[in-house]
Chains A and B, each alone.
Chain A
Amino acid sequence: MEITLKSYQFRKAREAEWQRLEDLLARFESGRQSSLTEDEIVAIPRLYRATLSSLSVARAISLDRDLLEYLESLSTRAYFCVYGARATLLDRVLQFFAKDWPKAVRGMWRETLLSAMLTAIGAVAAFALMKQSPDWFSSLVPAGLAHGRGPGASAQLLRGTLFGTHGADGLTVFSTFLFTHNAQIALFAFALGFACCLPTALLMIYNGMMLGAFFVVFNDRGLGVEFGGWALIHGVTELFAVILAGAAGFRLGWVLAFPGSRGRLEALGRAGREAAVVMAGVIVMLAFAGLLEGFGRQLITSTWIRYSVAAASAALWLFYFYRREPQP
C-alpha cells in the first residue's frame, strides 16, 4: 500500500535538503569553517531559506510533532549562522582601536570627569585628614598594601622603596600580579555601577584617598617630588584606566536609574554596550600600566625620566581619546 499522507510525501521530497543543511551547519559550528568550500558557503543561505519555507509549510500541513520540532531547531540554528556576526577577529580588533574605543571614551566625558573629580576629592580629603592626625593612615591603607611604609617609617626606608630595584629579580611576576589585580578591581568598579553608582563612587573616592595618604607620608619626609615620579610613571595610565572603569560604571548606574525617553531595558542595553567597549580598553590600558610599573619603574630610577615618561603617556592617552576626528 502506498502511503498517501501529504505530510509524508512532503517530508520525503525535502528531507535530503535538510540533511545537507544540518551537515554544513555542524561543520560551521564546530569552527571548521575553512573546511567549507566556496560552493558550500553559498549553499548555506539558500538551504536556510528552503528550510524556512519547509517549516512554514509543515506548520500548515503536518501533525508530526517530531518533524516540526526538528525543523524549528534546524531553522533556528541556520538563522543564527546566516544572520550572525561576520567580521573576522582581526577586523574587529583593528576597528576597536581605530574607532570604537576612542569614540566610546569620548562619549563618556561627563562620567569620566565625575569619576576623576571623586578621585581628586578622595586624595584631598586624605591629605587633610593626615595633616590633622597621621594615625588616619592605618585606617586608610590596609596593612597588606603598606609594606611598612607609614607615618612612623624613616626617610631612608621610604627612599629605599622609591628607588630600590627589588634586585631586578621577580619583575615578571610582580608586573603580572599588578596587572591582574588592578584589572580585577577595575572590572569590579564597573560591575558595581549597576547598584545605582554608589559603590563605584565610594571605590573612586577610596582610590583617591589611598593615593593622598601615601603622598602625605612621603611628603612629610621631604620625598614628595620623588614620590610623584615613582607613582606617576605608571600611575597616569593606571589612574586613567580606573577612572574610565568608574565612568563606565556610572553610565550604567545612571541609565538604570534614569533611562530617559527610551525604555529602561533598551537604554540599559545601549549603555551596557558602550560601557563594555570602554572596559575592554581599560583592560588593555592596565596591561600597559602593569608593564610600566613592573619593569619601567624598577629599571628607571631617575625621578626626572620618570616624570617625562608620565607626561608622555598622559599626552598620548589624551591625544588618542580626545583628538578631533578627521572629517570624512
Chain B
Amino acid sequence: MSIAATQPRHSAADARIRELVTPEGIDLRLVLAEASERMTAFLLDAGIMIGSLIALTLLLALATWLAGSTKILREGIPAIWLLAFFILRNFYFMWFELSPRAATPGKRLVGLRVAMRDGGPLAAEEVFARNAMRELEVFLPLTFLAMSGASLDAWVVLLGVAWCAVFVFFPLMNRDLLRIGDLVAGTWVVRVPDRNLTIDLVATRVGYGLEFSEAALNAYGIKELNVLEDVLRRRDPETMKAVAARIREKIAMPGRQPDVEFLSAYYTALRGRLELRLLFGRRRRDKHDRA
C-alpha cells in the first residue's frame, strides 16, 4: 500500500471549504464562492441595474410626452432621474444585501450570499463598507477606460489602468477570494444553494433477489459509492451501462438484470456494508483503503 493512498486527498472543492463552528459546536463547512460565480452574479446585477435604468428613462420620457411641458414636470422629471440613478448606483447592492437572504438578485440566482468571516451577524455598516469600495473596483477602472482626448498621454491612461487592475483582480490574488470591499468589511461570499431533498436511492426499489458475496461488497469504498450515487441520480443509460459493466467485471458477477436494477441493488448493498463499518468507527475512504 502506498503512502499516497493513505493521505487524505484534497480536491479543488476541498480547498474552498471553510470552517464555521456554530455556538452549538457543529462545523457547517461553508463553501466559498468561485471567482467565476461571483463574476456571473455581478454581471447579472449590472444587467438588472442597466435594464431598470433604461426602463425608467423610457417611462419618464413617456410621462413627459403625455403631460406636455408643465413646470412641475420640467423640474421634477430630471430630478427624479438623477436621484434614481444615484440610488441605483449606490444602494442597489446595499438594499438587497441587507435583506434576510443577504444577496442581490444576481447572487441569489447563482446561489451565493454575503456572510461575516467570523460568523457573526451581518450589519448595515459592513454592507455599506463592502459596497462603497465598488467605487474603487468598478467605477474607477471604467473612468480610466473611458478616458480619451488629445490632452491625455496614452501612457498616463495605461498606468492608470494598470493601477486599477490591482484592485479589479485583487480577489484572484488571495486564498479566500476576497475583493477589497470584503477585506474592508470583514465579509466573504459563500455558496448557499437552495437544495431540495431528493429521494433516498435505497428506497427506490427493494428486493431484486440479488445477493452479493463478501468479496463483492469489499471491492469499493466511499468515494466509489458517491460516484455510483451520482450515476444513479443522473440516470443516463449510456453511463449506467458502462458503469454496470465495470462493476460486474470487478466483482465477477455477470448477470442479465437490467443495469438500473443491478446498480440500485449493488448501491444498497454496498452502502449498507460501508455504513455498518462506519458505525464501528471504520471509514473506508476508497477502494485502495484496506484495513
Contact = CB atoms under 8 A, between A and B. Distances in A.
B212 interface: no
A70 B136 contact: no
A188 B30 contact: no
A311 B147 CA distance: 40
Given A8-B203, A273-B125, A276-B128, A63 B274 contact: yes
A65 B229 contact: yes
Interface stretch (A78-86, A107-115, A116-124): A78-86
B179 to A, nearest CB: 11
Interface residues of B, number: 78
B39 interface: no
A80 B115 contact: yes
A217 interface: no
B46 to A, nearest CB: 18
Contacts of B99: 31
Q: Is the interface of B mostly helix, strand, loop or mixed?
A: helix
Interface in B41-94: 71, 74-76, 78-79, 82-83, 85-86, 89-90
A5 B271 contact: yes
A126 to B, nearest CB: 21
B82 A173 contact: yes
Given A173-B79, A180-B86, A273 B185 contact: yes
B83 A180 contact: yes
Interface string A40-63: 000000000100100110001111
A177 B134 CA distance: 21
A158 interface: no
Given A66-B229, A72-B29, A75-B26, A187 B132 contact: yes
Interface in A24-38: 28-29, 31, 33
Nearest to A178: B82
A164 interface: no
B138 to A, nearest CB: 10
Interface residues of A, number: 80
B100 A28 contact: yes
Interface stretch (B187-195, B236-244, B246-254, B255-263): B187-195
A135 interface: no
B24 A191 contact: no
B35 interface: no
A66 B132 CA distance: 39
Interface of A: 1, 3-8, 11, 15, 18-19, 22, 28-29, 31, 33, 49, 52, 55-56, 60-67, 69-70, 72-77, 79-81, 83-86, 92, 96, 169-173, 175-177, 179-180, 183-184, 187-188, 190-192, 194-195, 252, 265-266, 268-277, 279-280, 283
27 contacts: A1-B207, A7-B202, A7-B275, A18-B197, A22-B197, A52-B24, A63-B271, A64-B229, A66-B197, A67-B200, A70-B197, A79-B20, A80-B102, A83-B22, A83-B23, A169-B71, A173-B79, A175-B79, A176-B78, A184-B89, A188-B140, A191-B132, A194-B167, A273-B123, A273-B125, A275-B129, A279-B132
